[in-house]
Structure 1
């Protein structure tokens, strides 16, 4: 026998009858579960008794049920949430052996009616909405609200903002039918569901991407126990971008926002609009030289065999060894920012904003063009400020061939001197990826970052093809540049050409 009967369109439900008759009954509560009241289903009966419990100030839960000889449920109880006894006598349980309940029996046509109703409670009943909402029966989150929460959490919206956003859907936050504590429990459940069978979900996601993009590819390295050790992937558009703009790349692995605490690396370059373009994403369990060797080898294989001319990284020794072994002909340059980041704590008052030494050091590092000028200027500054014995300055000068500008004369770097583009891409990824997210969600959110970069590139393409350019000085070389450069690159060139024209004009005027 089914748990509900066929609902007739003209039938007035028990809830509707209770609301309509409230004015005549003049009872304390709008909803009263009297003996004999009938319902079309157990769900309707549960909702009716739950509304009654909200008015009175208690919560309910499912109680006993009974099956008849035909195997169908014929009796069901809804009891007070304080019914039953605690597992231990001296405990913080809210169960007080309360006997309040309703017992329903099934009718011959599949409906249900109240056979027994006990209304007396042996505990205090609550009288404020804030306290009532903490009963499990009064904090139900509906299906569509759950889906909204899941989407917001996937996009790294924190718990408080999620609750406030849901409050706008209900008119104001006071109308939200569940508490923030309940929302936190739901978010934990969503996170656990996303993490279940993570590897299978990730491989299935890669298969879906492969169906949509035939040039999508990925590579997996596993350990002796068949667990993922390294994962590397790229799509067709990123491969095409690398074909044109892959001569100079940066690689950084400082990002670790995933549930496995695996370092995430990005191969990033510069396109013709002087924007950062992402080529490949890499998840690694270890940062050892053999792991980096596998990553660099698979990267070139995935990109069609093209080896970068220049690569910028931090000063990790394992990465340096791997580059020497896999790409011996590639120029390896260290990030200048990583070299100088400890300058402030190592040099003290010498490296303050008002210090002449700081200004002279930056001028030396950023503007010296030849090796002779750089080394001569370094010796003069050290002597001028009596810093010949400073350990930090001595150490970075010994490795100057890895980071100082003059030693890379003639080497194409796409105007990059640090791994800032990789780090900024990592920073942007944090806006999409929630903390401690599983691998499958990480890959999904990474695809959104690529889409975001594609949108920015599309805007610059539109500017280049449709918008006009403004000539700063209207000289032949500037007019020629306006025909061959993209809009963004021309604007960079125009600033330089204007400065050059002003200096040249001043020199000519001084001679006259």
Structure 2
């Protein structure tokens, strides 16, 4: 504590001004509160965004933009803006450090602006648990600062300046990335809020906003920072309670339900992830191809909703997990993927599909290095309509040619030729969006996706059906309390649709169109949906012609083409010794069922059954057979008291009790394991005997008390997680 503060030496007038005044040095944030900080941010943002660099200090000259003792300002805001402009010129960023406050009057009489590298991080912040979202260490103990004090007339004067830094300064070509420039102007903020209210993804927003003269080239980060600030300020306690209550209600009635919450170094909840046993079971059988779509902005605060989905044996969308993320940064996606992988036992997908514009690419490389990362073609088509709408409007053939670049071409040369012809035909050379798209062609062009199974999920039509998974349930600007209710309903409805399709497949025989042995076998092996796809290929193959072009022992090479389409030929190689076949169209490699060209050659070679190497279990009626509990014995419902959940909970507790006792000795373990395996076989036999119509089962589900679904889940005290992943329950 000081008595009689002097602004600078030999200034008796200013000394007398503060003689006898007691002051207290405090941190700026503690002294002024949130309202003042908001006002500071608005003033600084407005000052920085002005194209005219003139202000109370003067022009951007070499001498006038350099702080010096006795320099005066009309207000501390003017001094703050001046120091930021000086820092931008020199190549460092700033922050407010501390204040001097009169204990007698309560007024601020001094303030320090310093380099952002000043001091060192609090040991408490460094030592936070692993569950928290740590910020990179950037402080180096730099002493650079400018101290101002109040003088008579409420003007402010510089009393001390330190210009030397103990760290490298940023070069001119990188200064746009400094912290003080990560802000939007007031007009840009209005534009971002307007676009965000329509559901536009954050990564797309700034592409529609022209850069101001000398403006930041890091507009994408600006938009994210702006939205994150709004979300943090707007997120209400009752919304967080709604999420936690939903999680606890689900876990209370389904012990296998799992959720994880990431907390940042300030103690704020940022990211949420949840899944259940049914999703983990589905991932076990169908997790070879995954789609992660961050384009949903569904709740009131625009928190990105990220469902992780795939396709089951009926070609229906299935849910592997869901997340609400505070932002769309690589750091958040890394946390999401790491958490999700731990719940799935570390089993990485072979292929993961994402939106072209998202920041998830770096996270995939880090967390899922063995997975192939591709872009969803549906998202590319949507983005094309945004970036080059004139091409679609002015040229009726552009959509066809663009689609041909996405899907067509059997060689890289054919793809390159189609791309170049499209650019020339529609005068699109130099288009920045197309140039960036072409640079990442290996992530979307079909020629680069050959020989890799994708369950045909790359197709725009199927991605659109994935987006339809939540249609009619989730809407923009939906309150979180309503979102969690609707989310529960959509999960119930979609899982009921799978039960319906199981019943249709098991109790109704499909209509045979050609009466061939191979068709009859396919009808017995495949689910209804996959059989129809196989049947279409078989019927089309009957109208194809073939020509033997090479023969060597048991190996043959054929050219296969459609009548009147002789130019569009496919090459099929066939080995009669083992019925191995390969077609240049590579439908089997990509989709997992035989193409019309191979089926034509099978007909010629008298192959009357599907060789076992060409039957993918994931497409069969028995796709879910195995040690994992059958799906119909675990229907996870959002209604906490439906019969399916009650049955599941009862048998789950019994099995957990057996597991806890069986591990005591090897003898007891083997006995319990054999008993469970025998019981499982009996359950599967009993399920096959069940003859219940889809209508009756649907009525049972629809008869559930809807009033319970409309009620908010009960508030449950957060208990320590007792389950398979104790380290993940990060609340």
Q: Does 1:246 align with 2:246?
A: no
Matched, 1:448 2:489: yes
Give deviations 1:331-390, integer Å, cap 9, x for gaps. Answer: 000122333335456656653597344323323422323323212332344455555444
**1:432 partner SS:** coil
Distance in 2 between the 1:477 and 1:333 partners? 34
Q: Is the aligned partner of 1:499 residue 2:540?
A: yes
What SS does the corresponding residue of 1:499 show, helix, strand or coil? helix
Cα distance in 1 for partners of 2:395, 2:476 equals 39
CA contact (8 A) 1:312 1:419 kept: no
Gaps of 5+ in 2: 1-235, 547-559, 567-731
Judged with a 3 Å threshold, the aligned counterparts in structure 2 of structure 1 residues 468 and 418 are, in CA distance, closer, same or farther, namely: closer
Task: Give the structure 1 partner of residue 691 of structure 2.
Answer: none
Residue 482 of structure 1 pairs with residue 482 of structure 2: no
- Is the Cα contact below 8 Å between 1:251 and 1:265 reproduced in 2? yes
Find 1:300's aligned residue among 341, 346, 356.
Answer: 341
Instruction: Give the whole-Å Cα distance in 2 for the aligned partners of 1:269 and 1:325.
Output: 21
In structure 1, C-alpha distance between the alignment counterparts of 2:250 and 2:387, rounded to whole Å: 49
Seen in structure 2, the aligned counterparts of structure 1 residues 260 and 368 have a Cα distance that, compared at 3 Å, is same
Contact 1:251–1:422 (Cα < 8 Å) also in 2: no
Whole-angstrom CA distance in 2 between matches of 1:474 and 1:487: 17
Question: Is contact 1:215-1:236 (8 Å) kept?
Answer: yes
Asked whether the equivalents of residues 405 and 445 of structure 2 are also in contact (C-alpha less than 8 Å), the reply is no
**Closer/same/farther in 2, CA of residues 424 and 222 from structure 1, 3 Å limit:** farther
Q: What CA distance in whole angstroms lies between the structure 1 residues aligned with 2:306 and 2:345?
A: 20
1:330 to 344, 368, 371: 371
Q: Which residue of 2 aligns with 1:206?
A: 247
Q: Secondary structure at the match of 1:341?
A: helix
Identify the match of residue 235 of structure 1 among 276, 284, 288: 276
Deviation track 1:75-102 (CA, whole Å, cap 9, x = no partner) reads xxxxxxxxxxxxxxxxxxxxxxxxxxxx
> What is residue 291 of structure 1 aligned with on the other side?
332
Instruction: Figure out how many residues of one structure are paired with residues of the other and give that number.
Output: 318
1-structure distance, mates of 2:332, 2:319: 21
Aligned residues: CA RMSD: 3.1
Contact 1:432–1:445 under 8 Å retained in 2:
yes
1:363 corresponding residue in structure 2 = 404
Given the alignment of the two structures, is residue 224 of structure 1 paired with residue 261 of structure 2, yes or no? no
Residues 325 and 346 of structure 1: CA distance in aligned 2, closer, same or farther (over 3 Å): closer
Q: Which among 354, 357, 361 is matched to residue 320 of structure 1? A: 361
**Is the 1:374–1:406 Cα contact (8 Å) retained in structure 2?**
yes
Q: Provide the C-alpha distance between the structure 1 equivalents of 2:423 and 2:305, rounded to a whole number of angstroms.
A: 39
Residue 275 (structure 1) aligned with residue 316 (structure 2): yes
> For 2:243 and 2:327, how far apart are their aligned partners in 1?
20
2:544 is paired with a residue whose SS is helix
How far off its partner does 1:198 sit? Answer: 4.0
Q: Counterpart in 2 of 1:339? A: 380
Give, in whole Å, the separation in 2 of the partners of 1:366 and 1:508.
Answer: 19
- Do the aligned partners of residues 504 and 215 (structure 1) sit closer, same or farther apart at CA in structure 2, a change above 3 Å counting? farther
Inter-partner Cα distance in structure 2 for 1:442 and 1:349: 37
Shift of 1:413: 1.3
2-structure distance, mates of 1:218, 1:204 = 12
TM-score where L is the length of structure 2: 0.40
Q: State how far apart, in whole Å, the 2-side matches of 1:391 and 1:370 are.
A: 25
Secondary structure of residue in 1 paired with 2:293: strand
Shift of 1:264: 0.6
Deviation digits for residues 303-329 of structure 1, max 9, x if unmatched? 222111111111235211111111111
Cα deviation, residue 265, structure 1: 0.6
Distance 1:256 1:498, change over 3 A: same
Deviations 1:394-419 (CA, angstroms, capped at 9, x unpaired): 33222211111110112221101268
1:235 Cα offset (Å): 1.3
Q: Which residue of 2 aligns with 1:473?
A: 514
Q: Is the 8 A contact 2:378 2:464 kept in 1?
A: no
- The secondary structure found in structure 2 opposite 1:210 is helix
Q: Is the 8 A contact 2:364 2:373 kept in 1?
A: yes
* Cα 1:428–1:488 shift into 2, 3 Å: closer
Is the CA contact (8 Å cut-off) linking 2:296 and 2:304 kept in structure 1? yes
Q: Structure 2 vs 1, CA of residues 356 and 209 (structure 1 numbering), >3 Å: closer, same or farther? A: closer
Q: Residue 439 of structure 2 corresponds to which residue in structure 1?
A: 398
Query: Which stretch of the first structure deviates more once superposed, 366-375 or 276-285?
Result: 366-375
Contact kept in structure 1, 2:544 and 2:563, CA below 8 Å: no
- Going from structure 1 to structure 2, the CA distance change for 1:440 and 1:507 (only over 3 Å counts) comes to closer
1:175 corresponds in structure 2 to none
Structure 1 Cα separation of the partners of residues 475 and 421 of structure 2: 50
Deviates most, 383-392 or 206-215? 383-392
Aligned partner of 1:164 in structure 2 is none
CA distance in 2, matches of 1:284, 1:364: 34
Residues 352 and 358, structure 1, Cα contact 8 Å, conserved in 2: no
Q: Does 1:372 align with 2:418?
A: no
Q: 1:227 to 1:279 in 2, by over 3 A?
A: same
Matched position secondary structure for 2:244 = helix
Q: Is the 8 A contact 1:250 1:421 kept in 2?
A: no
d(CA) in 1 for partners of 2:522 and 2:561? Answer: 24
Matched residues in 2 for 1:369 and 1:444: separation? 47
Report the alpha carbon displacement of residue 202 of structure 1 after superposing the two structures with TM. Answer: 3.3
Q: Distance in 1 between matches of 2:398 and 2:459?
A: 22
